[in-house]
Structure 1
């Protein structure tokens, strides 16, 4: 959720532990005690953060509480597993449900990489976006435009392009489902409901090893339609390395 200056409201540890009583967080991240879930709510506002045209209510992984400069590489690996449910989401003018990104792996430049390519921030592309897309789960990753790009050239955001995406077969709709993301050296595996799998083991994933990464989970709402919103319930969320 962004404030009026376009900067995100960020609640760090230890304050995040008491998010349910935080006045800024309350409309966007709260506990539904009857369901035993944390609810992430997002809807368009007049303000948005620098690198997006959409609004969001998300958790950002921190290996060291309160510190964004310590992250992990694919060689180090990582695992994120959640049990979640689309609680409610609006439809567009064609009657189709709005899309929501519910999990991500976001790349990050080290301070040295940032300075090397003359960037003013540490942002790198997201290597993984997992969408709730009209009742199904859709996965998007990145591909390197030029496989002969140098180690310095691949640090630039415009060196990477979106892949064609992948749709899981089963429909989750508004039911509870589990998602697991397993990262190992040169490989990324996404598992839906312990029954369907999508594996990424291409040269593009191997090249991605140059970046540091962090997990994100919540509600990154993909609409600017007036009056639109989405609510995503998280019943479980676990990250390990």
Structure 2
């Protein structure tokens, strides 16, 4: 998470807090070190954010400090709530955590709407303890145009190691696909993320190629993706 985003999230956490927050609690929530929390709080205080307290005791933010409100119509808020709830079906733990933070911001400005419910069942969760590669790592590789080396098991159980250039993520109801240029097959392929059992950066990048590859991928896959998360041109299962 970028520092600017982390500072924004820190303010939101303080706004919704019921009492003093320890640096350790903030560090666990933001997934950073306690030292980073101390530095961030110092930065916010230097920006005149009314945060008071000290290490070892806890911090509070004085009431009355607000960021600009979100101005949405009633149906827009409901659409936002449903969309955020559906992220839980993506199996993407990092996106779900981000969605929870956004939902807290919405709840802080609008009355809760418990009557809007979305089924939580969907794609398998990317639990590292089950051997699944975090989808956040794959999304980061797409953004950074970073070459990955993956161990992939196809529908028939065949295992291969491939260097790929990831260019997109496709969220289906029951599966999530990683679209990528596969150097082994010398072509664009789709890989089910729940069949990627190991993944590491190679150290190489494909800077500037992402948009071109996505354009080709878009032309080749005009809804050539089935609802079950498979693909007509997916030789990897």
Return the TM-score normalized by structure 1.
0.25
Which protein has the bigger helix share?
2
Bigger CA radius of gyration: 2
Which structure would you say has the larger RCO, counting Cα contacts within 8 Å and 6 or more residues apart?
Answer: 1
